[in-house]
Amino acid sequence: MSSTKPIEPPVIRFEEVVKSFGTQRVLDGLTFEVRRGQCLAIMGPSGTGKSVILRHAVGLMKPDAGRVLVEGQEPSKLKPRELAVLRKKIGFLFQEGALINWLSVRDNVALPLRENTRLSEAEIATKVEEKLDLVRIAKQSFDKMPSQISGGMKKRVGLARALVTEPEIVLYDEPNAGLDPEISASINDLIREVQVRLGTTSIVVEHRVACIKTVADEVLFLEKGRAHLQLPPKEFFSSSDPRLRQFLGPNPD
Amino acid sequence: MGIWTTISGLGLALGLRLELFGAVLARLHDVPRRRALIAQELYGSAIQTLHVILLVGLFIGMIVSLQTGIELARIGQQDQIGTIVAVSMAREMGPFITATILAATVGSAMAAEIGTMSVSDELAALEVLSIDRVKLLVLPRVVSLMLAAPLLTVVCDAIGVLGGGFVAQSQLNVSWQLYIDSALEALRTPAQFLPLPKDVWSGLLKSVVFGALVAVIGCASGLQAHGGALGVGRATRAAVRDSIIAIIISNYFMTWLLYQS
Ligand SMILES: Nc1ncnc2c1ncn2[C@@H]1O[C@H](COP(=O)(O)OP(=O)(O)OP(=O)(O)O)[C@@H](O)[C@H]1O
Ligand SMILES: [Mg+2]
């Protein structure tokens, strides 16, 4: 698919990115890129810096060395106004959902539309309910507060909020964590559908093989702060790389 | 060495808070859009501390009346008790007590609420969504406390004067009528440009400033919180401590400006 427009620069590009916290070096010369319309899955042991990668891509963290480029711009070097323009193109699903605790489910999803668009309340309500339906939140939970819903539901509401503005780039931090197999399959279909229908570019941090096989065009295995391996899913899961085999175990699912 | 780091730390904290207050002022045009949130905050701060203000204000008035009454009685000047209670409530006690109670209740809650958002990625989420946190979180809180503080101060003043009256009547043998007359007479010095007694409006002006201080300090402490529940605890403690210091220091300078001439 991508071979038809080969010259377009990548939407997201990490160049030799280094990031340390105190004496702990989390990213150590990480390089990868994601082209338009592609989905990159990132896999790796817990605590290796997958969430840190996503935070760099939206300018929540700043690399110690190297460059992070999103649509050709470095988020950490933009002026606040330019950064806001760039961020409006990005949807971000936080690992814990990060719902605003004093707003209901419905108002959380409506928040980016209320604050940043001129849509009427009726238009907002339609979009919000449509997105909440897509992530399979039942009507009776629309007016619950975040503290009254389960972890997996928070995750899905966070997903609805990330998608409600129909962003060009979506970053998902473990979209499947805490979901049962049935809902997780429907979430993976949703991620794939968003990609196909809107042509979004995405990064999915995920451990579930089933999810990666559904959504990813390429898989990156993060180890010691670098891209240990980056391959299309088929080759990735049949790779004989000893470290990857050790990580995936005998029968990955 | 130690003292310089302390001073530069204080300078930095002051700078950040002034900056936040400046950011609030720059967004005042957004107040009409936030009226629902402001009303909600106002309800939370004013209605829910009203009973504390009533109780504390009552006893403060009784204390002032008793302390000064005993001395005044010794020199046969009991009929001045109303004057003293009314003036000290309106000028100092009402605004100060109200602000201190607001710092301990509402200001600390602001630091805890915003601090919790800070340590749980909610502020990061607002940032990624390009939502202005000052407009959403700080502006409604500052505006509502700038309204709540003077309202509660009036209540505190009134209940304090009443409390003083009970004591004057029951313990110091001053008639209720004499007490109230002297209290009202004392507050009659008019301001040049407002239809309010000077002591009342200067007290209210102070309380508006105190309300702004408590809210800005509470919000700023919350925004800076980091490091889980411990960080929220630190932010809350810092908010109450710094608010009380700020109330006292600013009180001195405002008194000086308002009454020196
Ligand atoms: N703000 C921070 N301050 C200090 N250290 C941090 C911070 N954020 C992340 N780290 C450290 O960076 C490392 C990577 O964290 P990260 O959250 O990216 O892990 P992860 O790969 O997403 O793990 P998981 O799969 O468990 O979510 C961790 O060891 C963590 O301790
Ligand atoms: Mg993570």
Reported as a single tens digit per residue, the pLDDT across B236-250 is 999 999 999 999 999
Indicate yes or no: CB of A112 within 8 angstroms of CB of B117: no
pLDDT of residue A218: 95
Nearest to B121 among A90, A94, A115 (CB): A94
Mean pLDDT, all residues of chain B: 92
- Cα B230 to middle of ligand 1, angstroms: 19
Q: A128 CB contacts (<8 Å, ≥6 apart)?
A: A106, A109, A110, A113, A160, A164
What residue owns the CA closest to ligand 1's atom 24? A46
User: Which ligand neighbours the alpha carbon of A222 most closely?
Assistant: 1
Contact yes or no for A98 and B127 at CB 8 A: no
Half-sphere exposure of B101 (CA within 13 A, CB side): 26
Cα of A11 to nearest chain B Cα, Å: 18
The count of C-alpha atoms lying within 13 angstroms of the C-alpha of B64, restricted to the half-sphere facing its C-beta, is 28
Q: How many CB atoms lie within 10 A of CB B101?
A: 21
Q: Which residue has the tokens 């004013």?
A: B46
Q: What is the pLDDT of residue B192?
A: 60
* B175-214: pLDDT as tens digits: 999 999 999 888 877 656 666 778 888 999 999 999 999 9
The predicted model scores a pTM of 0.90
From A103, A102, A108, select the one nearest A157 (Cα to Cα): A108
- Contact between A98 and B113 using a beta-carbon 8 Å cutoff: no
Task: Choose the residue to mutate in A27, A43, A50 for probing ligand 1, maximizing ligand atoms within 8 Å of C-beta.
Answer: A50
Alpha carbons within 13 angstroms on the beta-carbon side of residue A48 total 21
Q: Whose C-alpha lies nearest to ligand 1, atom 17?
A: A51
Helices (H), chain B: 2-26, 35-42, 48-74, 81-88, 94-102, 108-119, 122-128, 133, 139-171, 176-186, 198-223, 228-259
Range of the domain at B46: 2-259
- Per-residue model confidence as pLDDT tens digits over A60-90: 999 999 999 999 999 999 999 999 999 999 9
Q: Would you give the distance in Å from CA B112 to the centre of its chain?
A: 18
Q: At residue B12, does pLDDT exceed 90? A: no
Q: What is the pLDDT of residue A4?
A: 57
Decide if pLDDT at B217 tops 70.
yes
Q: Do A96 and B132 touch (CB under 8 A)?
A: no
Token readout for B42 is 């106002």
Which pLDDT band holds residue B162 (cuts at 50, 70, 90)? very high
Number of domains in chain B: 1
Q: In this complex, is the C-beta atom of A107 within 8 Å of any C-beta atom belonging to chain B? A: no
Confidence of residue A19 (pLDDT cuts 50, 70, 90): very high
> Considering only CA atoms, which residue is closest to atom 2 of ligand 1?
A21
**Tens-place pLDDT, residues B77-118:** 888 899 999 999 999 999 999 999 999 999 999 999 999 999
Which residue type sits at B260? Q
Looking up tokens 């204390």 gives B63
Surface-to-core class of residue A170, CB atoms within 10 Å of its CB (0-12 exposed, 13-18 middle, 19+ buried): buried
Q: Which among A173, A170, A162, A161 is positioned nearest to A108, based on CA atoms? A: A161
**Ligand 2 centre from A205 Cα, in Å?**
8
User: Chain B neighbours among A 208-247 (CB < 8 Å)?
Assistant: none
Residue B173 neighbours by CB under 8 Å, 6+ apart: B78
Q: Is A113 an 8 Å CB contact of chain B? A: no
Going by C-alpha positions, the residue among B147, B149, B146, B163 that lies closest to residue B57 is: B163
Which residue, A248, A229, A233, A235, is CA-closest to A31? A229
